[in-house]
Amino acid sequence: MNIVLIGIQGSGKGTLVSSLEKHLDLNVISTGQLLRDEVATGSSLGKHIKEIQMNGGLVELDIVMDVLNKKLKSNNKKITVFDGFPRNTEQANALDKLAKPDIVIYLNLTKEVAVDRILSRLTCSKCGQIYNTKRINTLVCPNCGGKLEQRFDDTIESINKRFEGFYKDTYPLIDKYKKDNVLFEVDASGTPDQVAETCLRIINEHNN
């Protein structure tokens, strides 16, 4: 089963993935994280990716498909969750050929709440778990002991560019997936547990 998560930055896609992983055996394909992993190697490709991410632009499709395919090939799980892919029609068409989505969850959240969440977001440099500074008072990950830090691309300039890209290129996919009869809209303003519970119900109803 292929699940796609769509939502503006800060809508809680990464947090939802972590919650779902506690209940389901998942292969998670987070293109943003896979690209950040390449950045962390310090390779020349990583330097190129970092420059684009800092500006909030989209990394070229061939590079994204390359990291995505590598992760997909090593998959032996029944459920695959795509977080951050597809981001436009070109990517959605590529995904339809590769792994047609069975469920697309649109995490609906206002831009104002999303900005507030992003600016108080801390990510573990080791395990990738996401925290909110309003709910945690340490820079050490309670999950694995790794260092909690702000994402290098969580600057106001990059955030605004990513919002612009979302409404222009990603939002129209909602219509496509509605027509494909696979779209589920979820109110993302609730607590992480509430959002996860709603999404788990949707997934379990379709996973029999």
| Alpha carbon distance 82, 112 (integer Å) | 25
Of 3, 5, 28, 64, the one binding ligand AMP (CB under 6 A) is 64
For the bound state, the minimum distance from the C-beta of residue 50 to ligand AMP, rounded and expressed in Å, comes to: 9
59 sits near ligand AMP (criterion: CB under 6 A): yes
* Residues in 86-105 that interact with ligand AMP by CB under 6 A: 87, 91
| Alpha carbon distance 39, 183 (integer Å) | 32
Near ligand AMP by CB under 6 A, which window of 48-56, 120-128, 132-140, 194-202? 48-56
| Alpha carbon distance 197, 205 (integer Å) | 12
52 sits near ligand AMP (criterion: CB under 6 A): yes
Nearer to ligand AMP, 53 or 198 (CB): 53
Kindly list the residues in this chain that would bind ligand AMP in the complex (CB under 6 A). Answer: 9, 31-32, 35, 52-53, 56-59, 64, 84-85, 87, 91, 153, 162
